[in-house]
Amino acid sequence: LKDEMANAIIFMKYSAYLRQAVFEQIQWAINELGLNEYFYSFVSPLKFVYAPTGQVILFRGLDDANRTKSIKIAKGYFKIVWFEELSEFDNWEEIRTTLNSVFRKSNEYMQPHFSVFLSYNPPRDPKNWVNIEARYNRPDRLINHSTYLDVPRTWLTDAFIQETEELKKIDERAYRHEYLGEVIGLDGLVYPMFDRTRHVGTLNENERVWSIILGLDEGSINDPTTCIALCVTTEGRIFIPLPFVYDPSIPGHMT
C-alpha cells in the first residue's frame, strides 16, 4: 500500500493447492487489516487487485517452472515473492530459475527492493536440499524458526494441545519434528544424524581422542578387506582420521 509500483506473487509447487492454502490465507489477512473494500478477488486466474491503483497479488503453481515466463503485469514490478511449502519443490535451482524470471521483469526500475519469503516445515533428513540451503550464511538472509509454543495460546484449541502432549509421550522424536520443527534424521539409519561437516575434520583445540575403533568389512564393494579407523572424541564426535594404508613391500610400514 505504501509503494504504488509494488506487486506480489505467491508460488506453491502444485496449482491445485493454491486456492485452499495461500489464496485463503491472503483473504484472511486482508480481512484482518480491514481492507476488504479496497481489494477485489478473482478465481480464474487466482488474484487480488487493489482497486485504487490496480496493483495485484498473483498466485502460481510451479508444476512447470517455465510457466513463469508468461507472467505479465500492467504496472510496476514484483516487490514481494513468496514460496509456500518450500520443501515440496524439487531443488534450489527451481527456485532460482523462478526468481530470475520474476526479477527480469523488473529491470526497467532503478535498483528496486525485493523481499523473498520461503516458508516451510523442515524435512527430517539433514541432507535434504532445503536443510542444506538453510545452513548457507548469506548476509541478505534472515532465518526465523517458530513453533506453536511461540504464538498466543488463544490461537490454539485445547484439542490441538492435547494431541501434541499425547504425541510427545508416545513418540518424542516425531513430536520434535512435527511440532518443534527439528531436523531429527530419517528412521532406520544406523547413525541418522551423522553429518560430514560435524564429524569429519580436525580435532578442536581442547578435544581429545577417547577411544579408537578399527572395523573390518569383508563385504566392501571397493575392496574385499577394507579396514576403517574411527575415533570417539571427548566431545562425543565420531572422528574419521586420515586414511592409512599398509604397504607390505616395506617391513613394518604403515602410513
What averages of pLDDT result for each successive group of 10 residues across the chain (255 residues)? 92 91 95 95 93 94 69 86 94 90 67 86 90 88 93 93 94 92 76 59 75 71 67 76 57 49
Establish whether 4 is a catalytic residue: no
Marked catalytic residue, from 4, 85, 172, 218: 85
Q: Residue 237: its pLDDT value, please?
A: 75
Q: Residue 255: its pLDDT value, please?
A: 43
Single-letter code of the amino acid located at 91: N
Tens-digit pLDDT profile for residues 181-207? 999 887 666 555 566 656 656 677 787
Closest CA to 79 of 9, 157, 159, 142: 9
* Cβ atoms of 80 and 4 closer than 8 Å: no
Order of strands across the sheet that contains 226-233: 209-217, 226-233, 238-239
Q: Residue 92: its pLDDT value, please?
A: 92
Tens-digit pLDDT profile for residues 83-129? 999 999 999 999 998 888 888 766 555 556 889 999 999 998 888 99
pTM of the model: 0.71
